């Protein structure tokens, strides 16, 4: 099969909706900083804390935490928005605006839910004084889950096609995905903190599933129906053979076979 080369970042189309998302993140970040400076109460209740979601029902944190970024590191917001523009414009060109927005929302929710689930799991299984137990009460914030979902969907959509991205040169999209996944897994195994790896991995899993079309229910139903029909035809063929009938496979005429 011929592989089409895709030049990543080569004059992507303008995206008004992405500009609005970026502007919303910047405005909310500024308001968050102002609120912290003013000492407004309850701002910490907007961050994602697995313990609060599972024991206090703070489900709004699954949404509010996505629109906040690290107040002591503006680079957190800047890097996320740069990646959103790079991969968001490409994904929008590939799949359309509506699909890109759906991936953004699904990646954000997937990352948040995986963070909460992982925090609950470590609380149940890890010793109370272990490093892993910190996931239970750690606060998470940022749009990284959504952006990793966008990236993974981009990679999943192109997959075997060759792309050129920054200093990494020309590789298949799935190779880029493997590189970024490996970086995330190394981050998960390291003892350093400050990065919500669970949000990244959860968003990437959802984005890849959408990009590879694994969540297409109609396609899944058709595939299951096809398997059912093939199994039934195989059963009927064996039944006819037992009764003495000759079964010709492939729809060819009987004259094509030796008697």
Task: Give me the residues paired with residue 140 across strands.
Answer: 48
The structure tokens listed for 96 are 């359309």
pTM of the model: 0.81
CB-hemisphere CA count at 13 Å for 223?
8
End-to-end CA gap in the chain? 39
- Sign for the pseudo-dihedral over CA of 23, 25, 27, 30: negative
**Residue 75 · residue 96 · CB < 8 Å:** no
The structure tokens listed for 3 are 């592989």
* CATH code of the domain made up of 5-211: 1.20.1540.10
Domain ranges (residues) in the chain: 5-211, 218-247
Burial class (CB in 10 A: 0-12, 13-18, 19+), 51: middle
Residue 147: count of CB within 10 angstroms of its CB: 29
Which residue do the tokens 């359309």 mark?
96
Q: Which residues contact 61 (CB under 8 A, 6 or more apart)?
A: 45, 46, 47, 48, 49, 52, 53, 112
Q: What is the pLDDT along the chain (259 residues), one digit of tens a residue?
A: 333 444 444 445 678 999 999 999 999 999 999 999 999 999 999 999 999 999 999 999 999 999 999 999 999 999 999 999 999 999 999 999 999 999 999 999 999 999 999 999 998 988 877 777 788 999 999 999 999 999 999 999 999 999 987 677 889 999 999 999 999 988 878 766 678 899 999 999 999 999 999 887 778 788 888 999 999 898 888 888 787 655 555 555 545 544 4
**d(C-alpha 131, C-alpha 138), whole Å:** 11
**d(C-alpha 203, C-alpha 120), whole Å:** 18
């Amino acid at each position: 099969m011929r592989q089409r080369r895709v030049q990543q970042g080569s004059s992507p189309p303008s995206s008004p909706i992405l500009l609005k998302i970026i502007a919303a993140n910047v405005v909310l970040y500024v308001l968050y900083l102002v609120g912290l400076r003013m000492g407004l109460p309850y701002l910490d209740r907007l961050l994602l804390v697995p313990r609060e979601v599972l024991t206090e029902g703070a489900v709004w944190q699954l949404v509010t935490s996505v629109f906040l970024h690290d107040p002591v590191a503006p680079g957190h917001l800047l890097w996320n928005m740069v990646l959103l523009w790079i991969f968001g414009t490409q994904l929008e060109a590939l799949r359309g605006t509506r699909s890109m927005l759906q991936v953004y929302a699904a990646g954000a929710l997937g990352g948040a839910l995986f963070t909460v689930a992982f925090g609950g799991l470590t609380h149940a299984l890890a010793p109370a004084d272990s490093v892993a137990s910190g996931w239970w009460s750690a606060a998470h914030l940022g749009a990284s889950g959504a952006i990793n979902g966008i990236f993974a969907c981009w990679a999943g959509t192109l997959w075997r096609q060759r792309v050129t991205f920054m200093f990494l040169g020309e590789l298949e999209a799935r190779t880029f995905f493997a590189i970024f996944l490996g970086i995330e897994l190394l981050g998960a195994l390291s003892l350093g903190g400050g990065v919500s790896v669970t949000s990244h991995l959860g968003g990437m899993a959802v984005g890849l599933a959408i990009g590879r079309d694994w969540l297409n229910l109609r396609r899944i139903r058709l595939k299951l129906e096809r398997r059912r029909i093939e199994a039934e035809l195989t059963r009927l063929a064996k039944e006819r053979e037992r009764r003495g009938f000759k079964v010709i496979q492939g729809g060819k005429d009987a004259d094509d076979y030796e008697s």
